[in-house]
Structure 1
Amino acid sequence: MQLDNQDNIKDILNIKHEELQEDLMNKIMSRMAVIGIVGLGYVGLPLAIEKAKAGYKTIGFDIQKKKVDMINNGVNYIGDIFNKDLVEITTSGLLSATNDWNFIKDVDCVAICVPTPLDEHKQPDLSYIKESVKNISKGLHEGMLIVLESTTYPGTTDELVKPLLEKSGLRCEKDFFLAFSPERVDPGNLIYKTQNTPKVVGGVGKRSTQLAVALYQNVLSGEIFEVSSSKVAEMEKLLENTYRNVNIALANEMCIICSKMGIDVWDVIEAAKTKPYGFQAFYPGPGVGGHCIPLDPYYLTWKAKEYDYHSRLIEAAGEINSYMPQYVVERAMKILNKYKKALNGSKILILGVAYKPDIRDFRESPALKIIKELIEQGAIVSYSDPYIPDFKWKGIDLNSVELTADEIKNADMIIISTKHSCYDYEFIQYNAKLIFDTQNAMEHIKIRDNIERI
């Protein structure tokens, strides 16, 4: 008789959990679900806008009051967003922002899009995730879906986020639902935006996966690819960026070797590209920047040590790419020496501080490290970047100079560190004494007497 009662209780609970899933699914499909976005940066704000444009009432949460106020006033601070879209959805009331966590109780689905930096020892710093989850747990309620989008090591969703949420007394896959879906934001990409980039989704269980997939399908036009678990989704993001990091490192190492041998690496790559299979072109440069490629592989190497495995290839790639800013300075020194000039005391004008062309983002930009190294070697450094009017970094405080003929002529060397499309490269070549092109930006310039490329 007691067993029958236990079975009845299980049946009742199963029905309840199924009803919670069904209720949330109905809210998602009817666009009656209220969506929360935690973190309103390069990932969170575009996602919030897409969800609001899809017809969902969306609340953005951010600790920076300045961002909250700007959004509520329809003021954009992200390059990839159309100002018109932000104004329309904030005016309509579909999108609002707050730094008051009490509103989390009103949310049915929430995406966590906070930074996951590395600490000084290149170990994962998950403090932003932990703090966000703790704040969400205060308003966690039955039938709620939480999706982590922040890049992290495999197991974070299951081993960190889930236990923190379950401290509320609610059970994952029963009372609430949890998934991981890695962000794939590529600032400045003219083709792929948040809306049309394929999305990978992996839940901690089938119910969570189904709900998360349904939500993204209702919001995005790109393919939604369902994987078997949150760990698979977490690992695939690391594979994406580790793949790029390793291949960029190979291109950079080839660049160094070719330079020593007196071979033009760019000609080598162009020749290799003629093979119609088995080769994909990657290019050398002054280093890697941004919020993903320089950081993500270290999440994997750190986690691999837990399994007593030393990821030699990944770490070697990181060392090569980290060395490139120093290599640029060393090459600049040798180029100046050929013209009987010392780096110490030379006037160096850096073109581009953003980590990639035509964006305002200079996170982890190799240009910053180049500037720091040049200053330490005694060079007189200035920079010009129409996207970055000024910056402060590790004690360096500089303002962008106007790229006039006099400014260019006054420099002993121009170092092109970012391939901005707005630069007039013919004008630069005509006025410059000496150019060190680390991005092959002057590939099509015919007069090359004063140009050296990496």
Structure 2
Amino acid sequence: MTKIAIIGLGYVGLPLSIRFCESNVQVLGLDVDQSKVDKLNAGKSYIKHIDSEQITSITQSNQFEATTNFSRIEEVTAAIICVPTPLNKYREPDLSYVLDTGRAIAPHLSKGNPNKLVVLESTTYPGTTEDELRPILEEGSGLTAGEGFYLAYSPEREDPGRTDHGVKTIPKVMGGYTQNCLDRCVALYTKAIDAVHPVPSCRVAEATKLTENIFRSVNIALVNELKVVYERMGIDVWEVINAAATKPFGYMPFYPGPGLGGHCIPIDPFYLTWKAREYDQHTRFIELAGEINANMPNYVIARVAEALNERSQSVNGSRILLLGIAYKPNVDDDRESPSYALMGKLESMGAQVEYNDPHVPFIRPSREHSRFAGRKSVPILDNYDCILVATNHEIYKKTDFSHFRCPIVDTRNCISPRPANYYKA
């Protein structure tokens, strides 16, 4: 039986582990977080949209085992890296998780099973796999990529909470350092994925992932800008988008919001922007989109201020309930959520902010938002000065807010029936 390692057991690595296990591939899950390892080995999930029954099934069948011991890379024929690639405080790529993982596994590539395949799935800029990760793996192992071990890049395309497509059905793009590397990568993923799409190099595969998310970032920025313009004209941008979406060709609907969230779309465009400077290229279009999207929380807060002003109140001293911490509906994923920007800005203006989110009962510690850690979700009550809807969870769509007396500012166009004091933002 084939045995592989998947490094990083989060929103990307854990679903991928389950898919390989379901395809009769044995998976060794590696993570530096001992609490995650302990939960998985006990058959418990820590990601809301992944059932614990799925974890129990693969652990009890001995298809899956989690560990923090990186020396066990010796046991496997392939290692897939699914670790974070955030931006630092200067909005520059932080590859420390990828490179540290490379250093941890490199000494074990030459031991146990020979000719191991290493695949990077983390989103990054073109050249990372060949120019950054490869030297670390070669130096630490004493082997040469393409000969002593194989190296490839295959970007993750995970969309947490999505039900119409999953790991199995989403085509997998992949590029290899050499043709043999690519062949090994294709052979591995075809065991678990319905369709693979090989490309000529790791750089093409890396650029593919960036292009997908830049496309979304730019189009979301466009509708966010149109939202502001049309609001001044007295035009409902949601009505416009719904009407435009009836055209069966030449148009794809994107929807405005309070800002960008998730690990990919707010971050990935800046990976290319940063790398492009090395080639004396300036990505003005991408940077403008980032600027527009990053400014959306300010627009939302201005709408909150307008709603309060109409009741002769100010943001300073007001009690505000924020609906939704997750960055997208019906999941517990709060990475890069614009809700944190809204909370921070409102509190800096003197507001007292609480939140409700049935999928995020308490705010977990994180690198970016440590000041909010430990806060707990509160009930939805009509005793606040304003309610701000930041995430379009299904439960909010089903809640009858029509009798609420306080103003409700809706950034997602999801509240219906609507109260008398209803504002779109």
TM range (shorter): over 0.9
C-alpha distance in 2 between matches for 1:451 and 1:96 = 51
How many Å separate the matches in 2 of 1:54 and 1:277?
38
Contact 2:31 2:67 in 1 (8 A): yes
How far the C-alpha of 1:358 sits from its partner, in A, is 0.5
Residue aligning to 2:245: 273
Identity of aligned residues (%): 45
CA distance in 1, matches of 2:401, 2:376: 20
Do 2:122 and 2:156's aligned partners in 1 also have CA atoms closer than 8 Å? yes
Q: Deviations over 1:150-203 (max 9, x none)?
A: 000001111111111111221111221110000011011111122221111111
Counterpart-to-counterpart distance in 1, 2:255 and 2:294 = 15
Confirm or deny that 1:138 pairs with 2:138: no
Give the Å deviation of 1:255. 0.8
Work out whether residues 429 and 450 of structure 1, in 8 Å CA contact, stay in contact via their aligned partners in 2.
Answer: no
Query: Corresponding residue for 1:238?
Result: 210
The answer for the alignment partner of 1:303 in structure 2 is 275
Counterpart of 1:449 in structure 2 is 420
> Structure 2 residue aligned with 1:184, among 147, 154, 157?
157
Match of 2:89 in 1: 120
Contact 2:154 2:205 in 1 (8 A): yes
AA aligned opposite 1:216 = Y
TM superposition shift of 1:394: 4.4
Q: Is the 8 A contact 1:429 1:435 kept in 2?
A: no
Q: Distance in 2 between matches of 1:282 and 1:181?
A: 26
Give the total of aligned pairs.
Answer: 416
Aligned to 1:10: none
Q: Distance in 2 between matches of 1:216 and 1:394?
A: 37
Q: Which runs of 5+ in 1 are unaligned?
A: 1-31
Within the candidate set 271, 289, 298, 1:317 is matched to 289
Equivalence for 1:255: 227
Secondary structure (helix, strand or coil) at the match of 2:331 reads coil
Moved more, 109-118 or 169-178: 169-178
- Which shows bigger deviation, 104-113 or 375-384? 375-384
Q: Which of residues 373, 388, 392 is equivalent to 1:419? A: 392
Larger Rg, first or second structure (1 or 2): 1
State how far apart, in whole Å, the 2-side matches of 1:208 and 1:84 are. 35
Runs of 4+ residues over 4 Å off in structure 1: none
Other-structure match for 1:159: 131
* Residue aligning to 1:17: none
SS of the equivalent of 2:309 reads helix
Q: Write the deviation string for residues 360-393 of structure 1: whole angstroms up to 9, x where unpaired.
A: 1111110111011111111121111111112263
Query: Aligned equivalents of 2:242 and 2:26: distance in 1?
Result: 50
Deviations 1:22-44 (A, max 9, x none): xxxxxxxxxx3220111111111
TM-score (structure 2 length as normaliser): 0.95
Partners of 1:373 and 1:361 lie apart in 2 by 21
Counterpart residue identity of residue 237, structure 1: K
Question: Which is worse superposed, 113-122 or 212-221?
Answer: 212-221
> What is the rounded CA distance, in whole Å, between the counterparts of 1:165 and 1:379 in structure 2?
50
1:402 matched to 2:373? no
- Matches of residues 33-112 of structure 1 in structure 2 within 5 Å? 33-112=2-81
1:431 to 381, 404, 415: 404
1:5 corresponds to which residue? none
Offset of residue 57 of structure 1: 1.8
- Give the TM-score normalised by the residue count of structure 1: 0.89
- Whether the 8 Å contact between 1:115 and 1:128 is mirrored in structure 2 is yes
Contiguous gaps of at least 5 residues in structure 2: none
When structure 1 is superposed on structure 2, of 75-84 and 201-210 the one drifting more is 75-84
The amino acid across from 1:400 in the alignment is S
Q: Which amino acid aligns with 1:395?
A: R
User: What residue number does 1:175 align with?
Assistant: 148
